[in-house]
Amino acid sequence: MTESSKSLHAPEGEGIRPANGQRNRRAPTPGDSESVDQGTVGMEDLLAGAEQEMPTLRRGEVVAGVIAAVDRDGILVDIGLKSEGIIPGFEAQRLIEADQVHVDDEVLVLVIQLEDEEGRAILSLSRARAEKSWRTVQRQFEEGEMLEAEVVDHNRGGLIVDADGVRGFVPMSQVAGLHVTGVGEDEIRQQLAEMLHHRISVKVLEVNRRRSRLILSERAVVQERRSQRKEELLAELREGEIRHGRVTSLTEFGAFIDLGGADGLVHLSELSWKPVSHPREVLKVGEEVDVRVLMIDREKKKIALSLRRTQPEPWTTAAERYKPGDLVTGTITKLAAFGAFARLEEGIEGLIHVSELAEGRVTHPRNVVNEGDVLTLRVLRVDPSRRRLGLSLRQVTNPEFVVDESRSEDAGHAEHGVHHKDTKG
């Protein structure tokens, strides 16, 4: 018997019936040395004993046998009875055309009928294979195993698959990678159609042999693999290293990045060196980015990431680009009672103190400038260590500019207060 034949279990309480279970044993004859005394046992008794040794069959039972003869009218199978069982013509023709049966092949067959008019058991090879597949699926369900299936069709509800001869259904909600949010029915059908003839890995959600019902999930396999990969990733990640990932979602407080098995969070304050009010200003879902690992909490399985720290901090080289007396172009970004803030580049903002907006007294910056104005400004002072930069609009036309140190201290306090708040996000 082949190994695959041995793996199949018969109905509860029985194993698979071995082929030729009694066929190689002949009834004792009067001439045998082991026979009883002459006249003690007659021929009828010997025949009755042999009859009792013959195995009995049950309808629906799966038994092992050996192909005895192959013919389009029927395939004879020796299953250890007085006469061979038969696989009827309609199934026999199919098997012969597919070249799936040969004399002396060891096979598993299912008993459809105990006897026909000629006293032969009616057997089915195809249904035995199906039964074996159902039992395999049942075992995989009970043990939580994954199985491979081929997509053979689809409908409005999901995918129809072939799992080793058993027809199963994968609901749309259990198809991994299927985009349905905000997508029309035609596009969904197109996505399903593109999966035809692909082999997918699935897990059994429900199996009911009596109703021929098999419900499968591809998503469960993906989630299980992802969970395993997450554990591996948490073990191998190191703080400070750069990782490549893909943006999976955006929220009010940051962006989630898939690192290839686990999602990490880039907090709003770590998206850019410039102030950001929402992640969509910097990223979009599906975009691929490099991020720096800031923190790993293996117990809580959380990963903190930074996008901005993969780029140079603008203030570290600000003193090289901006020197007192330089004329620069800035955009007014914010107005306050003590002055106006102007952005010179991403991550670099300076303060135009209210006294440096115009000659004479200015009651409020809005009387001179508006948010969004693009202006030429003069650099008064640069302090990269404190992230402060003093600017003047009033002294743009004055080649001999003057830094009023009596005002710079107040300006410094004002700058510090506002920038400290922005840095905290």
Distance of CA 145 to the CA centre of its chain: 16
Residue in this structure with the two tokens 């750069």, named with its chain if needed: 242
Count CB-CB contacts under 10 A for residue 293. Answer: 19
Q: Could you give the 3-state DSSP secondary structure of residue 306?
A: strand
**pLDDT reported for residue 302:** 92
Which residue type sits at 275?
Answer: P
Instruction: Tell me the two tokens of residue 57.
Output: 């069959």
Count CB-CB contacts under 10 A for residue 11. Answer: 11
Report whether 276 contacts 255 (CB < 8 A): no
**pLDDT reported for residue 271:** 92
Query: pLDDT tens, position by position, for the chain (425 residues)?
Result: 444 333 333 444 344 555 444 444 444 444 444 444 444 455 565 445 545 555 677 887 888 889 888 888 888 989 888 778 888 888 888 888 777 888 988 888 888 888 887 888 888 888 888 888 888 899 999 999 999 999 999 998 999 999 888 899 999 999 998 887 777 888 888 999 999 999 999 999 999 988 889 999 999 999 888 888 888 899 999 999 999 999 999 999 999 999 988 899 999 999 988 888 999 999 999 999 999 999 999 888 899 999 999 988 888 888 888 999 999 999 999 999 999 999 998 888 999 999 999 988 999 999 999 999 999 999 999 998 888 999 999 999 876 666 655 454 444 444 433 333 333 33
Which residue type sits at 65?
Answer: G
Name which of 310, 305, 322, 297 is nearest 387 in CA terms: 322
Distance of CA 9 to the CA centre of its chain: 33
**pLDDT reported for residue 418:** 37
Contacts 24+ apart (CB under 8 A), 396-399: 396/327
Report whether 94 contacts 82 (CB < 8 A): no
Query: What is the full DSSP assignment across 251-297?
Result: ETTEEEEE-SSSEEEEEGGGS-SS--SSGGGT--TT-EEEEEEEEEE
**pLDDT reported for residue 385:** 87
- CATH fold for the domain made of 144-222: OB fold (Dihydrolipoamide Acetyltransferase, E2P) (2.40.50)
Q: What is the dihedral of CA 266, 271, 275, 280, to 10 degrees?
A: -90
Q: Could you give the 3-state DSSP secondary structure of residue 6?
A: helix
Report whether 199 contacts 148 (CB < 8 A): yes
Cα 425 from Cα 421, distance rounded (Å): 7
Distance of CA 319 to the CA centre of its chain: 49
Cα 15 from Cα 21, distance rounded (Å): 13
Name which of 272, 273, 294, 293 is nearest 283 in CA terms: 272
**pLDDT reported for residue 147:** 92
Cα 96 from Cα 100, distance rounded (Å): 6
User: Rg for the chain (alpha carbons), in Å?
Assistant: 41
Name which of 174, 77, 162 is nearest 128 in CA terms: 77
**Residues 6 or more apart whose Cβ sits within 8 Å of residue 47:** 27
Report whether 62 contacts 115 (CB < 8 A): no
Cα 251 from Cα 314, distance rounded (Å): 26
Report whether 264 contacts 256 (CB < 8 A): yes
Instruction: Indicate the CATH number of 314-424 among 1.10.760.10, 1.10.3720.10, 3.40.640.10, 2.40.50.140.
Output: 2.40.50.140
**Residues 6 or more apart whose Cβ sits within 8 Å of residue 87:** 74, 75, 77, 95, 109, 123, 124, 125
Which residue type sits at 329?
Answer: T
Question: DSSP class of residue 94?
Answer: H
Q: Where are the CATH 2.40.50.140 domain residues in the chain?
A: 3-129, 144-222, 237-310, 314-424
Query: Mutual orientation of helices 89-97 and 125-143 as an angle, nearest 10°?
Result: 80
Distance of CA 211 to the CA centre of its chain: 30
Which residue type sits at 417?
Answer: G
CATH, range 3-129: 2.40.50.140
Cα 257 from Cα 264, distance rounded (Å): 5
Superfamily of segment(s) 237-310: Nucleic acid-binding proteins (2.40.50.140)
Instruction: Tell me the two tokens of residue 204.
Output: 């059994």
The pair phi, psi for residue 212, each rounded to 5°, is: 50, 45
**pLDDT reported for residue 328:** 94
